Amino acid sequence: MAQTLYIAATEPRSGKSLVTLGVMEMLAARARRPGFFRPVVASARGLENDMDLISARYGLVPGETAVYGFTNDAAQRRLTEAGYAEVLKDILARYKEVEERCDFVVCEGTDFTGVSNAFEFDFNAAVAQNLGCAILPVINGHGRDERQLVNAILAARQTYTSRGCRVLATVVNRVETKAPADLRRRLASEAGATEPLFVIPEEPALGWPTIADAARALDAELIHGTEEGLKKEYRDVKVAAMHLSHFLRHLTDANLVITAGDRADIVIGSFVANRSVASGGLAGIVLTGGLRPELKVRNMLTGLSDSALPILAVDEDTYRTAARVHAVHSWLTPDNDRKIARALGVFERHVSAHELEERIEIDRTDRVTPLMFEYQLIRRAGSDPKTIVLPEGEEERILRAADILVRRRVADIVLLGQQEIVRRRISALGLDLSGVEIIDPAASSLHQRFADAYFELRKHKGITREVAADVLADRSYFGTMMVHQGLADGMVSGAVNTTAHTIRPSFEFIRTRPDVSIVSSVFLMCLADRVLVYGDCAVNPSPTAGQLADIAISAAATARMFGIEPRIAMLSYSTGESGSGEDVDRVREATRTVRERRPDLLVEGPIQYDAAVDAAVARTKLPESEVAGRATVFIFPDLNAGNNAYKAVQRSAGAVAIGPVLQGLNRPVNDLSRGCTVTDIVNTVAITAIQAQEAGDA
């Protein structure tokens, strides 16, 4: 039987979605087969509830591992026709469908959109009782003082325990406090809580709607900008009815401007204002009255814009449009990575995963999905945040990744680039990077200091002071020097720069660890149910036997760093003693060297890939091997084989390839693929931060 947790709000607007997302993120990284259930949803369409979000993010199948009991309308009809008890029976029957397929099910209660808050409160308690769930109440702390919060905690506990429900923990959400930890201790004491109690402070940004939210509410047409621009959040609405010169004085950061569709002056003026760093950046524009800008105006906008500033058009008049926009609520949607990152960041800072896990007693799995692995990376990096420098600070993907990293507090970020350009792009993209340091190497006070240090390090190579000054204006060299000088803990680059440009500075003055002769790389290959290590796939074209041994030993250390037990397969086109030739002999010698240097490591070679991963093949070819059929670390004989192999597995098997992860350096510097996604950047920064943690502990 599946374990089940029921998350129930005690009233509307409690922030239940945030708690559900945080709990699912935690459980999906641990449970073998997680599931999701809602007794009642607003509609089958799912946009009014969390079914879409949870299903999409955690790969659940609607109707199989993500199931609901009734829509609101269907529940009301069933209640009228058959009565309360029959509704509960039907919900239990639907729940059993998902329980049979999963080993842990998160149930999310109703949204308090029905006829009575008191009825829904009682209904959620009854459902939790009948499903046999432990319950996690979510209490709305908005606008309540300490005494009122204590009373709400006691009332919820009394209601649920009187029905025989086990209260797992209590979350008090949306509390207006600057000291949540202190308030948590006082509330727990005053309420006599024996179960964990968590306090999540109000996070205004989570309530900011996106342009997409407004577009859905208005049924608006996107006539300018991109789908990405729809993810921008707006904090305030400005109706433009006055003259442009007066209106511009009222614009502030993240405004949504509403104006008649024939006000070309407002539209063009808003675009010009959006390009100004001082303005803070607009969120978007809504044109009313069924009017569209003329062609020459649209052409002018294309020329003015260096952003994805969205323009929506509606047929309604300005008054009705403004009223509808003011009524828009913010939703967590599957496509909004930024809002999801912010929500998870808030949850993870204030809710102890360790305390919840102890209460839930999750049956842990050895299976590791890509999502599990990424969650572990984020959580581990955030446990001891390090400073990571990103030299390509003007690149859009880097900025979007920095936004997510800051929201989830994975690392402290330093961006390199021209400050005006970086800030303009941050503003144009609607990002919040107020806590990020931006440094222009050419204008920085650190430039001369770094140039002097580089000169001292490289003067034996004929480097002059003038050349050193020119070199340190380069952002890759500047960022690497920040790491070398201890002003940053690691560096990530390569979204724009080549691999050579990224890692060359580290070869010059960070250099390799004393026990390593060569810098190499691995990819962390996240398959459907496990993570493997592939090396070297990015750096060394034709390694010698000794270098292969070094790569294998370094790869084993990297595997252990990320929770993978190393069982090393030294790959070749031949297995065991059956083959001969220069290439096979080189792998054989490398294997012998690894065994001599590190007798504690499990290593097999030469071995073919099928014998390394397939237990049936292994029993035939190497029946006595402790590695064959169970390998986790794969060392390819050369770059040609390694690079093609990881790309083949990535594309053909749908694996998530994280890397390349550089190994062997004194301080962590990692390279990105120029085709990297925002998620790739986030993962690589997390890996770099973990490497920095390990280096600090060594």
pLDDT in tens, 595-620: 999 999 999 989 999 999 999 998 88
The confidence score (pLDDT) of residue 361 equals 67
The confidence score (pLDDT) of residue 115 equals 54
The confidence score (pLDDT) of residue 45 equals 58
- Distance, CA of 698 to CA of 696 (rounded, Å): 6
289: left (phi over 0), alpha (psi -120 to 50) or beta: left
The confidence score (pLDDT) of residue 306 equals 52
The confidence score (pLDDT) of residue 206 equals 87
Among residues 696, 693, 694, 19, the alpha carbon closest in space to that of 382 is found at 693
Which residue reads 């002056």 in tokens?
Answer: 265
Contact call for residues 109 and 7 (beta carbons, < 8 A): yes
| Residue 603, strand partner residues | 568
The confidence score (pLDDT) of residue 274 equals 74
E strands present in 298-360:
311-313
The confidence score (pLDDT) of residue 47 equals 45
The confidence score (pLDDT) of residue 276 equals 61
Among residues 177, 154, 139, the alpha carbon closest in space to that of 14 is found at 139
Distance of CA 612 to the CA centre of its chain: 32
The confidence score (pLDDT) of residue 315 equals 94
Among residues 59, 54, 19, 21, the alpha carbon closest in space to that of 37 is found at 54
Contact call for residues 536 and 522 (beta carbons, < 8 A): yes
**DSSP state at residue 142:** T
C-alpha separations of 397 from 136, 209, 435, 681 in Å: 37, 23, 18, 8
The confidence score (pLDDT) of residue 563 equals 87
- Distance, CA of 73 to CA of 75 (rounded, Å): 5
Residue type, 82: A
- Distance, CA of 663 to CA of 691 (rounded, Å): 9
- Distance, CA of 176 to CA of 156 (rounded, Å): 20
Contact call for residues 141 and 199 (beta carbons, < 8 A): yes
* pLDDT < 50 regions, the chain: 1, 46-47, 277-279, 363
- Distance, CA of 112 to CA of 414 (rounded, Å): 43
E strands present in 277-406:
284-288, 311-313, 387-390
Contact call for residues 16 and 138 (beta carbons, < 8 A): yes
**Residues with Cβ within 8 Å of residue 183, at least 6 apart in sequence:** 146, 175, 177, 199
